[in-house]
Chain A
Amino acid sequence: MGLLEDKARARLFYKYLSKVYDRINPFVWNEAMRDEALEWLDVQAGDRVLDVGCGTGFGTEGLLQYTDDVHGLDQSVHQMEKAFEKFGKRDRVHFYRGDAERLPFADDSFDAVWSSGSIEYWPEPVEGLREIRRVAKPGATVLVVGPDYPNSKLMRKVADAIMLFYDAEGADRMFEAAGYEEFEHHIQQAKPGSPKAITTVATVPEE
């Protein structure tokens, strides 16, 4: 199956999903975990920040606690409807529809880039990470939250069938291939036994 067909399928899947659910969250991602991740991103007041795959705006809401200059991009307007309800369509957040793997922003546009719960749906995650590096300024911090590879056999089967999961080694490979030199991973978990998130904090290399 070609890339385009995969992408078309992914979109139909989201469209359906957003009607039933808020988008499957393969890991448990709560406010405490988000706030911890926000501390790692360390956004300063006035920084221009991009939220890639902002969806319903859960990450966006956290970013707004740090700066007023927040930009949210998602391919699906259905997903964003909830974010519009929270922040208004053109009030506190600049929204765009776009593809994470072909970002519609000029080089070095952002002081920081955040993406949570989105990478597992990208057909070519390295492309997306490379694009994030391009639109972030040299020295900027990039934070990506994805699902850690599940331990249970059943969950692994479900996971592999519909989306991307990766462990720290997988994350190393993706971030290196996308041109990052400095990064670290944090495993985040709501409580013992719940599905884990893997959060990577990377620095955009100086060019």
Chain B
Amino acid sequence: MKESLLDIVCCPLDKEDLELDATEREDGEVIAGTLTCTECGEVYPIEDGIPNLLPPDMREEEEAAA
């Protein structure tokens, strides 16, 4: 994801701002890292450049099903 998208993405639960922690970047894109809600502290992963902003209940189900 592009870092400029932080202007529009938010926490799906409380709609508060997210803070980026990038661990890998390539050509102006964040490839890996996390987005953390500045209000509730929920952490959302960036997986191969795609932010996974599924609410935690949907993410957990998927991990359980995998």
The interface of chain A, by Cβ under 8 A from chain B, is 4, 7-8, 11-12, 15, 48, 75, 77, 89-90, 94-99, 102-107, 109
Which residue of chain A has its CB nearest to the CB of B27?
A90
> With a CB–CB cut-off of 8 A, which chain B residues contact A106?
7-10, 15
Write the nearest CB–CB distance from B1 to chain A, whole angstroms: 7
Task: Flag whether B41 is at the interface (Cβ < 8 A).
Answer: no
Inter-chain contact A8/B65, CB cutoff 8 Å: yes
Across the interface, B10 reaches (CB within 8 A) one of A7, A99, A105, namely A105
Q: How large is the interface on B (under 10, 10 to 19, 20 to 34, 35 or more residues)?
A: 20 to 34
0 or 1 for each of B5-16: is its CB under 8 Å from A? (1 = yes): 101111111010
| Bound Cα distance A133, B15 (Å) | 14
B51 interface residue (CB < 8 Å to A) = yes
B45 vs chain A, min Cβ distance (A): 10
Query: Do residues A104 and B53 form an inter-chain contact, with CB atoms below 8 A?
Result: yes
Tell me whether A96 and B58 are in contact (CB under 8 A).
no
Q: How far does the Cβ of A13 sit from chain B's closest Cβ, in whole Å? A: 11
Determine the distance from Cα of A109 to Cα of B49 in the docked complex, in whole angstroms: 21
Q: Are B8 and A105 in contact (CB under 8 A)?
A: yes
Closest to A3 in B: B57
Give which listed residue, A11, A90, A102, contacts B62 with CB less than 8 A: A11
Q: Is the CB of B53 within 8 A of A98?
A: yes
